[in-house]
Amino acid sequence: MPVAAIGQLCSTSSMTHNLSQARSLIAKAASAGASALFLPEASDYIAPNAAATISLCKPVESSEFVLGIQKEAQKHKLPINVGVHEPTSDGKKVKNTLLWIDAHGSIIHRYQKLHLFDVEIKDGPILKESNSVEKGTSILDPFSTGVGKVGLLICFDLRFPEPSLALRHRGAQIITYPSAFTVPTGKAHWETLLRARAIETQSYVIAAAQSGPHNEEKTRRSYGHSMIVDPWGKVVAELGGEEDENGRGLDIGEIAFAEIDVDLVEKVRREVPLLRRTDVYPDIG
C-alpha cells in the first residue's frame, strides 16, 4: 500500500530557514519510501504581523521557498503538498494557498483557503487573518494521486463540515488540513475535529501542522500534533507538539508515516452507507 508522510516544522519570517527545515523533511520522506509528503500551512513563512505577511510575499515563480521545494520534489521524485502565500492581483493582501507539486517538480493543483481565522479569545490569542489574507471563492475538485484521490482544505476550514462533505460527494478519499492551529484551540478541538471530519466523510484525513513559537517573543505559537486519521476515525499517525520547559516546540523537523488503504475507505462506505435525506435538507456537493 502507498505510504503518506506528514512533516512538522516551525516556520519563521525567514524563508531560507524554513526551506532548510522542509528540505530535511523531504529527504526523510524520500528515504522512507513515502508516496507523497504533506507539509503544513504557511510553510514558506509566518510573519509577526499583517504588514510583514504582505511584504514578504512573492509569486511562486520568484519565491526561493517554492522554487526550492519544486527542486527537491524533482530530485527525490516525490509529490509534495505544501501551504504557502501568494500575492493578490492588487498586492494589498495575500492568498493562503495549498500547492500540489508533482514528482517532476511542477505545480499542478492549488487551492485557496475559504475560511479565514478571525478570533479574539479571552486571555488567549487575537488573530485577524482577514487583515492580510484574501479569502478563496471555490472548492477544488479532488484529484488522483499515488496515495488516493485527494481533496484540499486548509486549517480553519476544519471547523466547517460543508466543504469536506462536498469533497466527499465529489469522490475524495483523502482530505487535507495543513494547519498552524493556536495552542488553546488546538488543545480544545484539534483531534476532535479531525476525527469528526474523517468519520463523517468516511475518508482519510491528513493534517500536517506547524509546531512551537514562530518568533523570539513567542507572540505566535502553534499547537503541532500533526496527524493522520483513517476513515473509521482512528488516529494512525501522530507527532507531538507541546512545548518543553525551555519553550522549544517538540517534534519540529520530525515526520510520521501511515499506509493509505483506499480499500478500507470503500469498505467503510459500503458497510456503513450514509444515505442522506436530501428530500428533507439540501444536498451538499
CATH number for the domain that contains residue 33:
3.60.110.10
State the pLDDT at residue 243: 63
DSSP strand pairing (211-213 vs 221-223) = antiparallel
pLDDT-based confidence at residue 242 (cuts at 50, 70, 90): low
Which residues lie below 8 Å from residue 238, measured CB to CB, with a gap of 6+?
Answer: 225, 226, 227, 228, 256
Q: What per-residue confidence (pLDDT) applies to 166?
A: 97
* pLDDT class of 124 with cuts at 50, 70, 90: low
Instruction: Mean pLDDT check: name the lowest of 128-132, 198-202, 203-207.
Output: 128-132
pLDDT in tens, 26-61: 999 999 999 999 999 999 999 999 999 999 999 999
The answer to whether residue 281 sits within a structural domain is no
Whether 190 shows a pLDDT value over 60: the answer reads: yes
State the catalytic residue, choosing from 10, 41, 149, 254. 41
Residue pair 73/101 in contact by the 8 Å Cβ criterion: yes
Q: Quick check: is 41 catalytic?
A: yes
- Residue 279 falls within a domain, yes or no? no
What letter would DSSP give residue 70?
H
Active site (annotated) includes residue 10: no
Provide the number of structural domains found in the chain: 1
Domain assignment of residue 91, yes or no: yes
- The pLDDT-based confidence of 109 (bands split at 50, 70, 90) is very high
Q: Three-class SS of residue 9?
A: strand
C-alpha 86: how far from chain center: 16
Q: Under 8 Å CB-to-CB from 201, ≥6 apart: which residues?
A: 164, 165, 167, 168, 172, 175, 231
Q: Which amino acid is at 209?
A: A
pLDDT of residue 237: 98
Whether pLDDT at 217 is above 90:
no
Q: What gap in Å lies between CA 260 and CA 264, rounded to an integer?
A: 9
In angstroms, the CA 70 to CA 50 distance is 27
Q: Which one from 134, 155, 238, 243 is the annotated catalytic residue? A: 155
The residue from 57, 113, 149, 254 that is catalytic is 113
Q: Is residue 190 part of a domain?
A: yes
pLDDT of residue 119: 79
Clarify whether 245 is annotated catalytic: no
Q: Do the domain assignments include residue 278?
A: no
Cell of 21: 527545515
HSE-CB at 13 with a 13 A cutoff on CA atoms is 15
In a domain, 192, yes or no: yes
87 alpha carbon, distance to own chain's centre: 19
CA–centroid distance for 169 within its chain: 20
Return d(Cα 215, Cα 93) in angstroms, integer. 22
Whether the CB-CB separation of 237 and 29 falls below 8 Å is answered with: no
Q: Is the pLDDT of residue 199 over 70?
A: yes
pLDDT for the residue numbered 225: 96
The predicted structure's pLDDT at residue 222: 94
Q: Categorize the per-residue pLDDT at 248 as very low, low, confident or very high, splitting at 50, 70 and 90.
A: low
User: 22 pLDDT band (50/70/90 cuts)?
Assistant: very high
- Asked if the structure places residue 83 within a domain, the reply is yes
In a domain, 280, yes or no: no
Containing structural domain, residue 84: 3-271
Do 194 and 208 contact (CB within 8 A), yes or no? no
105, 147 in Cβ contact below 8 A?
Answer: no
Rounded to two decimals, what is the model's pTM?
A: 0.95
- Per-residue pLDDT at 249 exceeds 60: no
pLDDT given at position 122: 72
In the block, which residue shows the cell 499542478?
A: 108
